Structure 1
Amino acid sequence: MDTDVAPPLGGWQQTWRLVAAAALGIPFWLSTGTALPRGCATDTCSWFATGDPLVALGCLAVLLLRRRFPLAVAMAVAIAPGGSALATGAALLALCSISTRRRPGEIGAVALGYVAASQFTLVLYPIGSPPGSVWLQLALTALSAGIAVAIGVAVGARRVEVRSLRERAESAEREQTARAAQARALERNRIAREMHDVLAHRISLVAMQAGVLDHRGNLTTEENRTLIRGIADGSHQALEELRDVLGVLRADPGHPEPPQPSLDRIPELVADARASGLDVALTTTVTAEPSDAVGRTCHRVVQEGLTNAAKHAPGARVHVTVEGTAGNELHVSVHNSPATTTPTTRPPASGFGLLGLAERITLAGGKLSHDPTPEGGYVLTARLPWPNHDHDHEKRS
């Protein structure tokens, strides 16, 4: 991770750092002044009272550029204590700042420049010092440099950790947004499949009844009235089912999604097809209730088979068979004989009915087959796994 770029500082942060640097240099400046001979500050040591503070002030001003030119500023300020005791605080701040970059070469060069330049203070000012004081000065300078480096490295490590945590949080937020978008896309696809399954069946029955009215002119008044009533009822039911499906888009915890059809609604599905004029027979040997997913898939198989029979085989006999036992498989088939009449118009078709049904059955772990029969009819067959779970119970009447 790149540690060169430090977070921007506000005005108050810059101010208190510079004030702290100035305050830190004052003890070094005063200690140097007390070690000077009496009267030196107003005679031969006028630099102490004028030049020394000016150099320190210049160092504080240069520190404002340390984020733009970190190494150059740090090196320039670090050697300033050679000509200004008051600039020691600014030098330590510069050393601490360059240490936040955690580059050993830069830190070593600046620290060495600071330690070496600080020894020139003994040469600049006529300070009488006992033997061995040079080594004490060197040790104290090295200790202060080490403390500044340690603080700077710790601050740099903390910045890297905070940046890493921020990036991880942003990455997690992006992933959460992507997962939410994916979930919305999957929900839209599911709703699209539901709309096709529900509406295609209902509209196909309405179209079949309208076709009968269109090409048969020998119907009695009662038969015409029955077909017209069937078209009106079917259209109304299609609108109701469309409203239910689209209601999923507005669903919230206070408005749960309406229950999905299952195995127990197949007789109702067959009865609707009969009322629309389709000749349908139902045979079922199932006496237990499978899981919701298996029952819903079985219902969709029968619905798709009846829809296709109404579209492509008008007047044909349709036989629906549902059989199976828990712990084995559930078999469902929709077989229609050849068409006995020819539709006057081509029935509408999306081309995705069987494709979507195959996807459903594959997700349920089953197999789908659809083939023409030798006599010219068509058969749609599905085999669905039916695990024998403890929560299976007798089918509701």
Structure 2
Amino acid sequence: MPARVIDGVLAVGCGAATTPFAAAGLIYGYFRWQPPLWFWLPAVVLVATAAWFRRNRPWLFAGVALAGWVVLSGIFAVVLAQYTVAERTRSWRLTAISTFGTLIVVGLPIWRLGGLDASLPQSIAVCVAPALLGLYVGTRRELISEMRERVEQAEQERDLRVRQARSDERAQIARDMHDVVTHRVSLMVLHATALEATNGRDATKVAGRIGSIGRAALDELRSVVSVLRASDAAPLAPQPGLADLVDLVDQTRALGVPVVLEADTGGQAPALVQHAVYRVVQEALTNVRKHAGNPETRVRVLRETGRLRLTVLNRAGAASERVDGLPGGGHGLLGIAERIRLVGGELTAEPTADGGFLVEAVVPLEGKSGR
């Protein structure tokens, strides 16, 4: 039943119980009289109106109900007022104050006419019992409301974590696809360009390189796609690490880029750190060939105390050696910077004073290392 319908019924009941006809059988009261119509009718309307607004103004209703008891012996409104004050305030202190005052006002005429034996049980029934019931109902409603809010908040936080996890996973897949596709396809395009420039010389050798790069790209793409299809666990194929830098540099040298590798690959390093460093070198060498041509490039991977330092430095390249037409979305450096950040490191990428470019990453070997 709607709350306003209940309020209407209770308001009518309070007004009807305050009329002289309903209170005629009561022998208790401050005034044993027959009030005129012009007096009791407005009083009844006032009590009913206060009962209608009792949810928002419980103390006003309590005062009007006590006044109705004093002048017209309307006891039902007092019972409802006690319940309402306790249920709306949910305060033991305020309820105790209200109950004590109501006990005096209600119990005094009953005690005067019937003595303590009559006043005590009736006063408890009229004043104390409704207040206790109101405290119970109000406190229970508050607890249920708080539990509901906590459940809703927990659901919102869970949905937020799910959305964040999906966003992180999409970003991770995007980085993997970029690293695999961009590097391998760029190598294939560069080899095809070199094949075109040779006018058929060494065609078999270059075509073999293109095929080898294509097969490697397919293998890595299958590994990435298997992550999307796997329902229980990630694929067991190892990800490239520091030991694979030699092959990566050899592939770049085959394109005519003079690369010098200085790598301390000994010792142990977390697999995610090794993979992140490998991807940084991969992206940096790809950018060297795309944007600088065939400049002298130096790759250094050095172990320091508790961390790994990577630098990829290339000199300025000749404009005639640059490869045009290779697509670039501008997300490569952002992707490797995010990879380094996820393993707890920092990456800087900036041009040098002599026209070259420097990519430097510092990654801790202990501590945060995860996606």
TM band (smaller chain):
0.5 to 0.7
Deviation, structure 1 residue 151: 0.9
TM-score between both structures, scaled by the size of structure 2 = 0.67
Unaligned runs of 5+ in 2: 27-51, 77-111
RMSD value over aligned CA atoms? 4.0
Aligned with 2:279 (options 282, 295, 300): 300
- Report the Cα distance in structure 1 between the residues aligned to 2:239 and 2:263, rounded to whole angstroms: 21
Larger CA deviation: 98-107 vs 233-242: 98-107
Aligned position for 1:152: 134
Aligned with 1:200 (options 164, 178, 182): 182
Deviation, structure 1 residue 329: 4.6
CA gap of 1:328–1:158, structure 2 versus 1, over 3 A, is closer
TM-score between both structures, scaled by the size of structure 1 = 0.63
- Report the Cα distance in structure 2 between the residues aligned to 1:156 and 1:344, rounded to whole angstroms: 76
Aligned position for 1:247: 226
Deviation, structure 1 residue 167: 1.5
CA gap of 1:98–1:340, structure 2 versus 1, over 3 A, is closer
Unaligned runs of 5+ in 1: 1-7, 10-63, 86-96, 120-130, 390-397
CA gap of 1:369–1:148, structure 2 versus 1, over 3 A, is closer
Deviation, structure 1 residue 244: 2.3
Aligned position for 1:381: 359
Answer whether contact 1:74 1:98 (CA < 8 A) is retained. no
Q: What is the CA deviation profile of residues 305-350 of structure 1, one whole-angstrom value per residue up to 9, with x for unaligned ones? A: 2211232344555443322334355233243673595467422222
Deviation, structure 1 residue 250: 3.7
- Report the Cα distance in structure 2 between the residues aligned to 1:77 and 1:159, rounded to whole angstroms: 29
Aligned position for 2:145: 163
CA gap of 1:241–1:256, structure 2 versus 1, over 3 A, is closer
Structure with more relative contact order (C-alpha pairs < 8 Å, separation 6 or more): 1
Aligned position for 1:172: 154
Aligned: 1:269 with 2:252: no
Q: What is the CA deviation profile of residues 247-296 of structure 1, one whole-angstrom value per residue up to 9, with x for unaligned ones? A: 33344334457544322221232244445665544222342233334323
Matching of residues 230-241 of structure 1 within 5 Å: 230-241=209-220
Matching of residues 328-367 of structure 1 within 5 Å: 329-335=308-314, 338-339=317-318, 342=321, 345-362=324-341, 364-367=344-347
- Report the Cα distance in structure 2 between the residues aligned to 1:350 and 1:249, rounded to whole angstroms: 23
- The residue identity in structure 1 corresponding to 2:207 is I
Answer whether contact 1:205 1:310 (CA < 8 A) is retained. no
- Report the Cα distance in structure 1 between the residues aligned to 2:168 and 2:147, rounded to whole angstroms: 31
CA gap of 1:104–1:361, structure 2 versus 1, over 3 A, is same
CA gap of 1:344–1:369, structure 2 versus 1, over 3 A, is closer
SS for the counterpart of 1:213 is helix
Aligned: 1:79 with 2:12: no
Deviation, structure 1 residue 225: 1.9
Larger CA deviation: 162-171 vs 357-366: 357-366
- Report the Cα distance in structure 2 between the residues aligned to 1:332 and 1:313, rounded to whole angstroms: 17
SS for the counterpart of 1:289 is coil
- Report the Cα distance in structure 1 between the residues aligned to 2:323 and 2:316, rounded to whole angstroms: 19
Answer whether contact 2:300 2:311 (CA < 8 A) is retained. yes
Aligned: 1:371 with 2:328: no
Q: What is the CA deviation profile of residues 330-381 of structure 1, one whole-angstrom value per residue up to 9, with x for unaligned ones? A: 233243673595467422222221233334445533342442573x6x3433
- The residue identity in structure 1 corresponding to 2:221 is L
Aligned: 1:212 with 2:191: no
CA gap of 1:136–1:340, structure 2 versus 1, over 3 A, is closer
SS for the counterpart of 1:82 is coil
The percent identity for this pair of structures is 31
Larger CA deviation: 352-361 vs 148-157: 352-361
Aligned position for 1:117: 74
Aligned position for 1:125: none
SS for the counterpart of 1:346 is coil
Structure label with greater radius of gyration: 1
- The residue identity in structure 1 corresponding to 2:247 is E
CA gap of 1:67–1:361, structure 2 versus 1, over 3 A, is same
- The residue identity in structure 2 corresponding to 1:141 is Q
Answer whether contact 2:295 2:314 (CA < 8 A) is retained. no
CA gap of 1:286–1:153, structure 2 versus 1, over 3 A, is same
- Report the Cα distance in structure 2 between the residues aligned to 1:262 and 1:117, rounded to whole angstroms: 88
